[in-house]
Amino acid sequence: MAPDDYDQPRQFRAPDDEWIPFEAATRAQHPTGRSPRAPVLREFIRWYMRRPGAKLPERPPAGPWSTSKSGPPAE
């Protein structure tokens, strides 16, 4: 796929202790491809906007990415 075929890059801020394990989790579910996070984020965005036929992305089984090193999220 030529670089012109890619969507425009977007900036997304996430803490490293979430973003890095997220790649491992998405790669477990989608082992091939350039960026396994991108298809999962696209599926979630489509679902969130209630696009016709959109479904929540399928999650991988629990793995090392399933535990948080920073503790529970702030409320």
Which pLDDT tens digit goes with each residue over 11-48? 889 999 999 999 999 999 888 877 788 889 999 999 99
Give the chain's domain count.
1
> Is 48 inside a domain boundary?
yes
Question: What's the DSSP call for residue 72?
Answer: S
pTM, two decimal places: 0.74
Q: What is the pLDDT of residue 67?
A: 87
63: left (phi over 0), alpha (psi -120 to 50) or beta: beta
Q: Whose CA is closest to 36, among 53, 17, 15, 58?
A: 58
**What residues make up the domain containing 46?**
30-56
> Is 35 inside a domain boundary?
yes
> Is 45 inside a domain boundary?
yes
> Is 46 inside a domain boundary?
yes
> Is 64 inside a domain boundary?
no
Q: Beta-carbon neighbour count of residue 25 at 10 Å?
A: 20
